[in-house]
Amino acid sequence: MISVSLFKPRLSHFGVSTHYFIFDADVISQAKAENSTLAVQAIRKAQCLGLLENSIVAVANAPTALLEVIRMIKEENLCPVLIVEMPVGFVSAAEFKDGTALLNDISWMITQGRKGRSILVVAAIYALLALAEQSSKKA
């Protein structure tokens, strides 16, 4: 939902592109093989493709993706530029967000508690782009 909601020409103005793999056949088969979630496998695929390092990682509807990103940061030294996470609170979303808030070397934006949605992530990204544009005009 995040990727679909972001206006591609606006992103390309900043040299930004989006990626999502949740519906890829290899992600689906790997999730079944490992009894895992599609979100976890999609994050792992993005990491294997080198797309997470120095990136903005945005999570809205899949708290397990967020858990995998946190694991990669702690265990594999993943270093995204920013994590924007606002998953709605079904399966431990609040607890996963709290885990991100404990990260010291990674910038993050979260909604507290169980509130979240894709549109909030999209709004946050657009706000960041607007700030970046203002900053570049002043320079």
Q: Is the pLDDT of residue 33 over 70?
A: yes
Q: Percentage of the chain surpassing pLDDT 90?
A: 45
Mean pLDDT, rounded, for 33-52: 96
For 94-135, the pLDDT digits (tens) are 666 666 666 778 888 877 766 778 888 999 999 999 998 888
- pLDDT at position 102 is 65
DSSP assignment string, 58-116 = EESS-HHHHHHHHHHHHHH----SEEEE---SSSSHHHHHHHHHT-SSSEEEE--TT--
Query: How high is the pLDDT of residue 92?
Result: 61
Instruction: Give domain status of residue 134, yes or no.
Output: yes
d(CA 68, CA 81): 16
Residue 45 belongs to a domain: no
pLDDT in tens, 67-93: 899 899 989 999 999 999 887 766 566
What 3-state class would DSSP assign to 50?
coil
Into how many domains does the chain fold? Answer: 1
Residue 117, judged by CB atoms within 10 A of its CB (0-12, 13-18, 19+), counts as middle
The answer to whether position 70 is within a domain reads yes
9 domain residue, yes or no:
yes
- Domain assignment present for 7: yes
Q: Is residue 36 part of a domain?
A: no
Establish if 48 belongs to a structural domain. Answer: no
Is 62 inside any structural domain?
yes
Domain extent at residue 100:
2-15+53-138
User: What confidence score (pLDDT) does residue 48 get?
Assistant: 97
Q: What is the CATH number of the domain that holds 92?
A: 3.40.50.10230
